[in-house]
Structure formats: C-alpha cells, structure tokens
C-alpha cells in the first residue's frame, strides 16, 4: 500500500516510524513532514488544508490510505471532501468527518453532546456578545477559579483559568466583544472548575466498534513544577501510574461506552482516533475535552507501546472490523521529553543546527520542528525533538531519555527536567 500522513510534528514522525515497520507498506508519503520523516518516506510540500493539492498528490502517487494528524483539516472537512469526490471516495481516511470533528471544533457542541449522553463533565453555560450580562451573572454564581473557553479552535490557547471574579468578567468581555481569540471566541463556554489530576485516554473507533489504546499523561506548561505558559506539551508518560484498573473501568463504562453509543444515537459517523482529556476528581473521571486526533506529544509514547502492526489496525478500522482485531500492547512504560527552542512558547529563533543525533542509543528521537539545510538538520519550530524511551517503569524510561538528551545539542535549547514530578 501507499500511505499518506498529513502533518509535520512529532506525532506524525511517530506514526511514520511505526507505519514503515509494516509489511503492508510500499511507499510512505508525509505532507509536509520534517527532516526526520524525510529519512523514511517522501515529504510532499503542501498545506494540510489545501484539499485540491492533496487530491492531486493522492491520485498521482496511487495513495491507498490517508492518516490525518492534526485537527484543522478534520474540522475543515477533509474526510467529507474525499467522500464527495468520485475519484477519492473509496480511499480510506483515518480521521472523522466534519460533523464529528465538531467535538473538538466547538466546545459548546462537545458539552451539549456530553450532557445529552450523561457523560460526566464540568457544569457549564455558553454566552455570546448579546448575552454578556448573563455571562457576568453566571460567573457570579460560581466559585473561583473561573474557567473560560473560546468555543472554536484557538491553537490550544483558548482556555483561560482566572482566580479573580473581576478579571474573569474583563476577560469574558474581551473574548466576546473584542474577539480576543478571533472568531473562535465569538462564543464562550464558562465552566465550573474541577480540581484533580489530568490524564488522557485514546480510543480508535470504526463507527461500530472501538479499541482502547494506551493511556498517557502530558505536561503542558513550559516551566518546571507545571508553572508558566501553556505549550503544545513538553513531555508525556504512558501508562499513567495512577490510572488503576478500577479507575480505567469507570472511564470505559461512564465515558468511552456512552461516547461511542452517543455518536451512534446521534447518527454521527466516526472513523478515527478519539482523544479524551480527563480529570480525576477524588476517584471519578470527568471529561475536560474531546480531541478528534491523537495528542502530541502523547503519540510519542502511545504509538510505540502498540506492538500490533499499525497498518493492519488501520485496515481493520476502515473495514469496520475492530471487533476482530487483537490489539497487542507493550507492558513496559514509555516516556518522552520534548526539546524546544529557547523562548518557546513565546517568540524564538529558528535555523539552529542540531548536533549529536547519531550518538543517541536506546531512545528514539522523533523529529517535530526540524528541517534540512544542505546536509544539516536545523530547528524550524518551537518544539524541535521528542526523545522517547522505554523502561520497566516510567522513572527508568525517563532516566534513559534524559541521558540521551545530554548527547544532543542546539543553541538555546530548553527542556523540562521534571517530567513525571507529580506522580
Ligand atoms: P482544554 O483546552 O479544554 O483541554 O483546556 C486546557 C486546560 O485547561 C486543561 O488541560 C486543564 O488543565 C484546564 N481545564 C479546562 N477545563 C477545566 C475545568 N473545568 N476545570 C479545571 N481545569 C480545566
Ligand atoms: N498534548 C495535547 C494535545 O495534543 O492537544
């Protein structure tokens, strides 16, 4: 088979690394990819949101399956675009259609879905510019801290957590009347604050059946001790040590099963990954958010723990035969640590030469923000490399990642030295 992966980050590098291990694969294409994917497949320079350009490369290269990494093309309807095109409609896409992608594309849509199907989540109400005064009233009815969420996609930046009522009102007003997050905040969901520890579950569904993939916990803040600005994610661990069998059974019964059943009841077809952001309050799981794709850097620990052939798994997904699939999971722990550009997640410089990649042993280095300049690998993004390792527990795996990070260098590099500190 010829397979196309859309995207260019650590997540897509990991999918590429796993897919090239499959006997089904003839040629792998990654669009746009990075310096790492270039070593194992063919990078195609195109935008993941340029559907006509994607159609052209799919037909030119006889691509038989498309794996969508990021949420944007899903929310923009790439799957629907394929289904409505006579030349593309029989090519399987791993990633849901536009309607289902609203689970990530609209916080209000996701909240309404959860309420309709009795899936535990924080109490909420949503507001627009016209109902701003009611929004103030709702904030007054809650206790601090206040959680404000832009309804639409805001590149992971649309959630504000504020300790002070006046500040929360001011932010709400700015989001609604001054488009603080552009069109994404023309509607705002205000939520009750849930106090607990977070983790994520990953599910693959074919619309009829589902498989639960390894769970993970990511570290979103730039600073040690979970301080400072939010990033895309600075590291991840799988499995999550505090997610014991009893807790995971609650997640499946109260959240995963009702989600899959709810999609069927609502006649929302869904072929692809569901990434459920959870918070454990006392011993009970609540949904913080749905994402309609894999997480990054969670993928860098989830996918390496899957022992089964990933292309076999995707074929079973496309054929709606996940019920017949025997998913094999590596029971070791996997951890990843992100090496980022100095300054990230604020402004940072690019184009720094990366050295030492060949000295790494017993870890896998997934490229995230890299490109090639002549024969040198250089930085080209905020998150540059993800260093993944295995161990009999997460501490052993982390020690391995940190040992290998010491062998890699680029000017102004930064990484968190405390991944797993809270476990
Ligand atoms: P989201 O984009 O919805 O995942 O939110 C970003 C982050 O905000 C989450 O990872 C949580 O740390 C935090 N968060 C979101 N909603 C809540 C909530 N209701 N209670 C507490 N923390 C929240
Ligand atoms: N690591 C969080 C995300 O991918 O959304």
Residues 71-128: tens digit of each pLDDT: 999 999 999 999 999 999 999 999 999 999 999 999 999 999 999 999 999 999 999 9
Helices (H) and strands (E) in the chain, counts: 13, 22
Kindly report the protein residue whose alpha carbon is nearest to atom 3 of ligand 2: 295
Distances (CA, A) of 304 to 35, 166, 290, 308: 20, 46, 22, 10
- C-alpha Rg value of the chain to the nearest Å: 21
Find the mean pLDDT for residues 389-407: 98
- What is the CA(362)–ligand 1 centre distance, in A? 34
Same-domain check for residues 50 and 6? yes
Q: Is 397 domain-assigned?
A: no
Spatial distance between the Cα atoms of 71 and 155, rounded to a whole number of angstroms: 10
- What is the CA(297)–ligand 2 centre distance, in A? 7
Find the mean pLDDT for residues 56-75: 98
Mean pLDDT over the full length of the chain: 96
Same-domain check for residues 82 and 137? no
Higher pLDDT, 403 or 181: 403
Three-state DSSP class for residue 100: helix
The number of distinct structural domains making up the chain is 2
CATH code at 40?
3.40.50.20
- Quick one: which H or E segment has residue 339? strand 333-341
> What pLDDT does 97 receive?
98
What band does 189 get if pLDDT is binned at 50, 70 and 90? Answer: very high
Same-domain check for residues 30 and 76? yes
> What pLDDT does 182 receive?
84
Q: Is 147 domain-assigned?
A: yes
Q: What region does 393 belong to: left with phi over 0, alpha with psi -120 to 50, or beta?
A: beta
Spatial distance between the Cα atoms of 204 and 327, rounded to a whole number of angstroms: 11
Same-domain check for residues 72 and 11? yes
Distances (CA, A) of 227 to 211, 218, 220, 360, 420: 34, 14, 9, 29, 14
pLDDT at 214 over 80: yes
Q: Which tokens go with 381?
A: 């993004």
> What pLDDT does 154 receive?
85
Task: Compute CA 136 distance to the chain's CA centroid, rounded to the nearest angstrom.
Answer: 32
Spatial distance between the Cα atoms of 130 and 233, rounded to a whole number of angstroms: 35
What band does 165 get if pLDDT is binned at 50, 70 and 90? Answer: very high
Q: Read off the DSSP letter of residue 143.
A: P
Ligand 1 neighbourhood includes 122 CB (under 6 angstroms) = yes
What band does 181 get if pLDDT is binned at 50, 70 and 90? Answer: confident
Same-domain check for residues 90 and 16? yes
The β-bridge partners of 339 are 385
- Do 320 and 208 form a contact (C-beta atoms < 8 A)? yes
pLDDT at 190 over 80: yes
pLDDT at 312 over 80: yes
Q: Which tokens go with 28?
A: 């792998």
Q: Is 394 domain-assigned?
A: no
The β-bridge partners of 107 are none
> What pLDDT does 179 receive?
86
- 234 phi/psi in degrees, rounded to 5: -105, -5
Q: Is 345 domain-assigned?
A: no
Q: Read off the DSSP letter of residue 356.
A: -
Q: Read off the DSSP letter of residue 258.
A: H
Longest Cα–Cα distance of the chain, Å, equals 60
Q: Of 84, 79, 118, which Cα lies nearest the Cα of 268? A: 79
Task: Compute CA 308 distance to the chain's CA centroid, rounded to the nearest angstrom.
Answer: 21
Ligand 2 pocket mutation, candidates 15, 219, 232, 419, criterion most atoms within 8 A of CB: 232
pLDDT at 370 over 90: yes
> For residue 123, which ligand has an atom nearest its CA?
1
Domain boundary among 161, 191, 221: 191
Q: Give the chain's length.
A: 423
Find the mean pLDDT for residues 390-406: 98
Spatial distance between the Cα atoms of 121 and 116, rounded to a whole number of angstroms: 11
Supply the range of the domain harboring residue 29: 2-98
Same-domain check for residues 34 and 68? yes
Q: Is 141 domain-assigned?
A: yes
Q: Is 234 domain-assigned?
A: no
Same-domain check for residues 94 and 128? no
pTM: 0.96
Q: Is 289 domain-assigned?
A: no
Same-domain check for residues 92 and 155? no
Domain boundary among 166, 191, 216: 191
The share of the chain scoring above pLDDT 90, in percent, equals 96
Kindly report the protein residue whose alpha carbon is nearest to atom 5 of ligand 1: 159
> What pLDDT does 418 receive?
97
Ligand 2 neighbourhood includes 218 CB (under 6 angstroms) = yes
Same-domain check for residues 88 and 153? no
What band does 156 get if pLDDT is binned at 50, 70 and 90? Answer: confident
Residues 123-152: tens digit of each pLDDT = 999 999 999 999 999 999 999 999 999 999
Ligand 2 neighbourhood includes 295 CB (under 6 angstroms) = yes
Same-domain check for residues 87 and 137? no
Domain boundary among 65, 81, 98: 98
Q: Is 16 domain-assigned?
A: yes
Spatial distance between the Cα atoms of 138 and 132, rounded to a whole number of angstroms: 10
Q: Of 222, 285, 230, which Cα lies nearest the Cα of 418? A: 222
Find the mean pLDDT for residues 234-254: 98
Spatial distance between the Cα atoms of 135 and 141, rounded to a whole number of angstroms: 10
The share of the chain scoring above pLDDT 70, in percent, equals 100
> What pLDDT does 157 receive?
79
Spatial distance between the Cα atoms of 27 and 347, rounded to a whole number of angstroms: 37
Task: Compute CA 161 distance to the chain's CA centroid, rounded to the nearest angstrom.
Answer: 21
- Peptide linkage before 217 cis (omega within 30 of 0): no
Kindly report the protein residue whose alpha carbon is nearest to atom 2 of ligand 2: 295
Find the mean pLDDT for residues 409-415: 98
Same-domain check for residues 76 and 154? no
Same-domain check for residues 88 and 167? no
CATH code at 165?
3.30.1490.20
């Amino acid at each position: 088979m010829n397979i196309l992966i859309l995207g260019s980050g650590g997540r897509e590098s990991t999918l590429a690394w796993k897919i090239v291990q499959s006997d089904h694969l003839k040629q792998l294409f990654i669009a746009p990819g990075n310096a790492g994917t270039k070593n194992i497949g063919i990078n195609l320079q195109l935008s993941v949101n340029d559907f006509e350009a994607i159609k052209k490369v799919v037909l030119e290269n006889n691509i038989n399956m498309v794996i969508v990494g990021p949420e944007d093309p899903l929310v923009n309807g790439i799957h629907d675009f394929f289904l409505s095109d006579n030349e593309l409609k029989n090519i399987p896409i791993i990633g849901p259609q536009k309607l289902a992608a609203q689970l990530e594309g609209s916080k209000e849509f996701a909240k309404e879905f959860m309420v309709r199907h009795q899936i535990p989540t924080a109490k909420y109400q949503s507001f627009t510019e016209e109902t701003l005064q009611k929004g103030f009233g709702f904030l007054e009815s809650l206790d601090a801290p206040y959680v404000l969420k832009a309804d639409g996609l805001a590149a992971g930046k649309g959630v504000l957590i504020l300790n002070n009522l006046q500040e929360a009102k001011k932010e709400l007003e700015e989001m609604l009347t001054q488009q603080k997050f552009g069109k994404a905040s023309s509607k705002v969901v205000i939520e009750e604050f849930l106090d607990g520890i977070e983790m994520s579950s990953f599910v693959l569904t074919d619309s009829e059946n589902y498989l639960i993939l390894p769970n993970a916990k990511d570290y979103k803040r730039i600073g040690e001790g979970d301080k400072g600005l939010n990033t895309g994610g600075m590291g991840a661990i799988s499995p999550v040590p505090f997610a014991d069998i009893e807790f995971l059974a609650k997640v499946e019964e109260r959240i995963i099963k009702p989600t899959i059943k709810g999609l069927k009841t609502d006649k929302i077809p869904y072929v692809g990954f569901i990434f459920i952001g959870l918070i454990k309050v006392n011993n009970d799981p609540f949904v913080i958010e749905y994402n309609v794709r894999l997480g990054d850097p969670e993928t860098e620990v989830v996918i390496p723990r899957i022992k089964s052939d990933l292309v076999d798994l995707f074929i079973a997904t496309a054929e709606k035969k996940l019920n017949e699939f025997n998913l094999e999971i590596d029971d070791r722990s996997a951890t990843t640590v992100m090496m980022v550009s100095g300054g990230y997640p604020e402004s940072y410089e690019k184009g720094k030469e990366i050295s030492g990649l060949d000295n790494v042993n017993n870890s896998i280095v997934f490229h995230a923000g890299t490109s090639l300049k002549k024969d040198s690998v250089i930085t080209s993004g905020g998150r540059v490399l993800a260093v993944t390792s295995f161990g009999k527990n997460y501490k052993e795996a982390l020690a391995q990642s940190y040992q290998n990070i010491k062998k890699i260098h680029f000017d102004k590099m930064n990484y968190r030295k405390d991944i797993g500190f809270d476990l």
